[in-house]
Each structure stands twice: as structure tokens, then as C-alpha cells.
Structure 1
Amino acid sequence: MKKFLLFLLSVSLISGCTSPTPEILNAPINTANQQISEIDTEQFKGLKRLVAIGRFSDETKRGNSFLVDNNNNRLGKQATDILSSRLTASGKFIMLERPDVQLLSSEAKNFETSKIGADYLIVGSISEFGRRAESDVAIFSRNKIQIANATVNVRLIDVKTSRIVYSEEASGEARTEANQVFGVGKTAAYDTSLDDKAVSAAISKVVSNIMNNLLDSPWQAYLIDSGEVESLFMTGGESQGIKLGHNFAVIEAGKKVKNPQTGILISLPGKEVATLEVIGFVGEGDNELSLVTTKSGKLDKTKISQYVVQEMKGNNHE
């Protein structure tokens, strides 16, 4: 009788220690990095780039794991949403919604219409996706593990030149475990949420590098001739971080020549022709403009379309 009671007590103790293992997304988060994260979330003081995200296509055989649009293109829809939300949350970019963008051709045409055009387009694909289950079986216990893996390929493209500025491939993993001892514990059903979490883990690995490359690219704006002698406007406004008193350099675009080796048109270095100062703002949202005055140099209004406005290092973003 005593042996039987001891046996029941042992089973109870072992069962009490059995608990499901929480889901794991890549490596555990290091608490030492928490201070860095807090610093990164401070309000961004620089000039914001205009960025649009094109489709994330699903190039894997598991197309039924992702949404399908009207054209029957299998999409990594969650990858688009995750990347867009991460870049928006950083406060460093103005994200433009392009649910049906026809990649570069449509984006470039936006500059010729009233719709605001992006400076950079992000496109990508989910190139690999897989699920597997593993089990560890002992005499009195059983451990079942569900694992999802995803690989994403991302490209950052300059809309005006169609040049790939940056590309990267990253993989992410998500898993969940269920333990049982003497038949007591958690049973593991098929967890569909692991698919999204694996994609999220892969996207997390590329977000930082994408942001760094976008910020390393030069900020640019363009001039708009209002038709009045004293009025000259520059694209962009307060929402992009432009402040009253900011100075900008006006660059006359260099001649475009064809590279005989690659066949790609390249622009020769331009020359600075004037300096502008911001004296006011008009419009809201996508139609926001900055009223500028010529501080030095001289502008030829017949060449307005050939001018590019660039940030000057002396601007104070505080």
C-alpha cells in the first residue's frame, strides 16, 4: 500500500512539473538590448523618405497558405503588412499604400499625375516555406514540437533609375512545444499561427538593414513653378521633417549618357546653381508643399523640370 501511495505521489509531482513550452521565434530576446530599442523609438528628427511597398509574391508550392488576389497571384500578404507596419512605426519614412501597384512603371507614372510618387519601392517574395513536426518519446514522457520556417527575399529599388539599391535574403523560424508525462499535459493540435510568425521572424531580420539603406540614400525634392514671379514651391512639407528656415541646394541635373557596358542610362554629376530657404507651407498630406525663396544663385524657370533639390548639411533638425 505504501509503495502504491509513493508511486501516485511521484506521478503527481512529475505531472505538476509538466507545462507546455512557449512558442519560440528565432533566438530569445536579450534584455541587454532593451535600452537600444528605447533609443530607436525616439522621434526621428531628419527628413523622411517617400517609400512604397509592392507585392510580396509567394514563390513557394504552399500557395494555399497565403492570400490570393483577383489575378490569382499567390501573395505573401502578411509579409507586406508586417514590413509596412515596422517601417511606419519607426517614424523615419512616409509610407505610401500601393495595393495594386504595377511595380516600377506605375510608380514612375505617379510623378506625372496628381498622385504622390515614391522615391523608393520595396518588392520581395517568400522563396521558401515549410512545416515539420518532431517528437521525443521516452518511457514516461512525450514531447511534440511543431516548427515553421520561412525565407524572404527583399529588394529596394530607386524608382527613377530602376536601379536595385539593396537586396537581402533572410530566414525566420517559429516553433511551439507540448509536453506530456504519463499521459498528462498539453496536447498539440495543428497551429496555423506559426506560418505568420515564421514570416514575421524573417521580416524582422531585414527591417533594420532596409531602414539603414533608405536613410543612406540622398533625400531629394523637386521645384514647382506657380506661374507667379515671386512664388516658387518645393515638393514636401512639415510631415517630411522640413522646417521654416531650412536651406536646400538646387542641383541642375547632369547629362544622361548610356553606359556601353550595361546599356543603362546614367546621369553625370550635376552642378549646384542656387540655394533656397523655406519661408512657409501650403496644402496638407500628399499635397503638402513648401514655399521657398532664392537665398543665393539664380534659377532659370525654363529649366524647372531639370532641377533637383537636395538637403544641405547645415540644417538643424532639432
Structure 2
Amino acid sequence: MKRFCLFAACACLLVDMSYAQRKVEVVETPQNSQAATSEKVIKRKVAIGRFSNETQYAKGIFYDKENDPMGKQALDILSAKLAASGKFLLLERSDLSTLLEEAQKGENGLSTIGADYMIIGSITEFGRKNTGKSGVFTTTKTQTVEAAVAIRLVDVSTGLIIYSDEAKGSADLTTKTTMGVGGRADFDATLSDKAISEAIGQLVENIINKCTDKPWRTYFLSYDADAVLIAGGKSQGIAEGDVFSIKSKGKKVKNPQTGLMIELPGKKVGTVKVISTGGDTPETEYSFVEVSTTTTIDTAKLSEYYIEESK
């Protein structure tokens, strides 16, 4: 009987030790992925103007705001998630003050930012803590990282914030030892990535929806006997044979409550058909188009027209 009890105790200890030595993985909350669709998508140009660290974490005497590693880490995570959706061309624009100034400039409704939308983000909360629990034979230690991220999405053509939200994410790593034997875990820097990634992941779907709710829009670059050109090309998904609507800009009225000018919906005056595309970069791409024969355009007032996809 004594031998049996001793054998059972040893077996339990070995099972516990085996559990303690297993690799502990952080499981992130799965994010909603974009369903595959055959519908043609014209990619929006999105500029990420700033992603800053507004917390006090890792801010010592030699802290450099322009080279904050956590801010750059968040920017890279956001860029990767947006690029993975296949709906955006990402343009990095680091000088925020210049961006906000340029958002109010430009001709034909186009700012010199060269983007349809601009994202401004910040890490608003960040913390790391270690907790533990000790028993007679076992000891458990847990590292936990929590982060909060705030995002603002600006419509460059109007300068208005069309989406603003904050989300929180967390990640933890647990190790367990039995009678001094088992897994050990030192400082794990990857938990920071996972916590920030989880927070950003909760916001990405809303960013995608807000950017794609509004029909894609572009403008005439040139209109003469030699050729008619519009902005945008191959990298955005524009291809030979695509047909878009030509609309005259709607009347602008002032909202007495906010003092802001609101542009009313435009009137369709014709269509254009893409003949070919050109340009070397997303910022310089263009398309040659053919205007429908029933369309009448006042070439002296090209800024009064825009080209829009049909929804």
C-alpha cells in the first residue's frame, strides 16, 4: 500500500512538472477578417500623419519624441493591418502641422497631401505588471501588458473628423513551477506588440468601413483635344474599360449651427471610360479616359467637376 501511494505521488508530480515546462503562448482575441469578395475595389489613398506615445512609459531624461519606438511600433502595426485588407494605398506623412495646413489648400478639391483620408493616432495608456501566486509545492507568475489606442480619421477634402474612437488590448504570459522545476520567463518585450496590436485590431474594421462608405472620387488633370486625363491609376485598381460618372459639384450652403460649409450632392452630367493608365508612383499616377459623346464640359471650369465611382 505504501509503495502504491508513493508511486501515485511521483506520477502526479511528473505530470505537474510536464505541464509547467510547456511553452506558454499568448492567445490574442481573433479579429473579424474582411470577407473575400469579387466586387471591384478602388483603393483609397490614406496618409498616416502621426502615431505618438502620449503615456509616460519609457520616457526618461534622454527621451526623443521624434524617435519614440512605441509610437513607431503602433504605426507599423496599423499600416500592416490596413495593407492586409487590400483596400488602401498607404502614404506615410510624418509632419502633422504641415499636413493640417495643407488639408485646407489645393485646387479642384485636392490637397497637396495627395490622400483621400488622413489617420492620426496615439497610445493613450500603457502599463506592465507582474503578479504571482505561491502554494505549498507550486508557484505561478504572470506578466501582463495593457494598452489603449486612440484613432482619428480625417476626410482630407473637408478637414472634418469622420471617425474617432479608442480601444484597449491586453496580453499576458504565465509560467508555473513545481518544487522549483518548471518553465521560467524573463521580461518579454513581445507582449507590448500583442497588447497594442489587439487594441488597434478592434479599430481597423471601423476605419475600413468609414473610408469605403463614401464613393471613390477623383478629378480631371487635363482636358483638351490631345487627351483627357484624370488622377489615379493602376495601383489603385483602375483598369482599362472601367466606367465612372462625371458630376458637377453641388451648391455649398452654410450650416448655421456649426458655421461649416456643406457641399450638396452633385449632378451627373456624363461618364468617362478608361482607355489606359500611366505614372510611376501612387502619387503621380493618371488615367487616359474617353468622355461620353453626350457629355458637355466647360473646360474653363474643370474645378467644378469631379469623377466618381458608381455604388
Please classify the TM superposition score into its range, dividing by the shorter chain length.
Answer: 0.7 to 0.9
Q: What is the root-mean-square deviation of aligned Cα atoms in Å?
A: 3.1
8 Å CA contact 1:141, 1:182 repeated in 2: yes
Q: Determine the structure 1 residue equivalent to 2:85.
A: 90
1:254 alignment partner, one of 217, 231, 250: 250
Matches within 5 A, 1:233-312: 233-285=229-281, 286-295=283-292, 296-312=294-310
CA gap 1:69/1:287 in 2 versus in 1, 3 angstroms: farther
Matches within 5 A, 1:117-132: 117-132=114-129
8 Å CA contact 2:107, 2:303 repeated in 1: no
Q: Structure 1 residue 291: deviation in Å? A: 0.8
8 Å CA contact 1:22, 1:176 repeated in 2: yes
CA gap 1:72/1:85 in 2 versus in 1, 3 angstroms: closer
Q: How far apart, CA to CA, are the structure 1 residues paired with 2:124 and 2:145?
A: 14
Report which stretch shifted further, 109-118 or 149-158. 109-118
Q: How far apart, CA to CA, are the structure 2 residues paired with 1:292 and 1:11?
A: 76
The answer for unaligned runs of 5 or more in structure 2 is: none
- TM-score in terms of structure 1 length: 0.84
Matches within 5 A, 1:40-119: 40=35, 45-64=40-59, 71=66, 76-102=71-97, 103-107=99-103, 109=105, 117-119=114-116
8 Å CA contact 1:21, 1:176 repeated in 2: no
Matched residue type, 1:55: R
Q: Percent identity at matched positions?
A: 41
8 Å CA contact 1:170, 1:205 repeated in 2: yes
Q: How far apart, CA to CA, are the structure 2 residues paired with 1:42 and 1:253?
A: 31
2:223 paired with 1:210 = no
What secondary structure, in the 3-state scheme, does the structure 1 residue paired with 2:94 have?
Answer: coil
The answer for unaligned runs of 5 or more in structure 1 is: 314-318
Matched residue type, 1:262: T
Q: Structure 1 residue 74: deviation in Å? A: 8.3
1:15 alignment partner, one of 14, 17, 25: 17
Matched residue type, 1:294: V
Matches within 5 A, 1:151-162: 151-162=148-159
Count of paired positions: 304
Report which stretch shifted further, 55-64 or 211-220. 55-64
Matched residue type, 2:132: S
8 Å CA contact 1:21, 1:179 repeated in 2: no
Could you list the per-position Cα deviations for residues 46-100 of structure 1 after superposition, in whole angstroms to 9, with x for gaps in the alignment? 11111111211212121539x9656577862111111111111222111112233
CA gap 1:4/1:248 in 2 versus in 1, 3 angstroms: closer
Q: How far apart, CA to CA, are the structure 2 residues paired with 1:43 and 1:54?
A: 31
Matched residue type, 2:154: I
Matched residue type, 2:305: Y
CA gap 1:305/1:139 in 2 versus in 1, 3 angstroms: same
Q: Structure 1 residue 5: deviation in Å? A: 6.6
8 Å CA contact 2:111, 2:156 repeated in 1: no
Q: Structure 1 residue 4: deviation in Å? A: 11
Q: Structure 1 residue 185: deviation in Å? A: 0.9
Q: Structure 1 residue 17: deviation in Å? A: 3.4
Could you list the per-position Cα deviations for residues 118-151 of structure 1 after superposition, in whole angstroms to 9, with x for gaps in the alignment? 0001111111111111112111001000000001
CA gap 1:138/1:261 in 2 versus in 1, 3 angstroms: same
Matched residue type, 1:222: Y
1:135 alignment partner, one of 112, 132, 136: 132
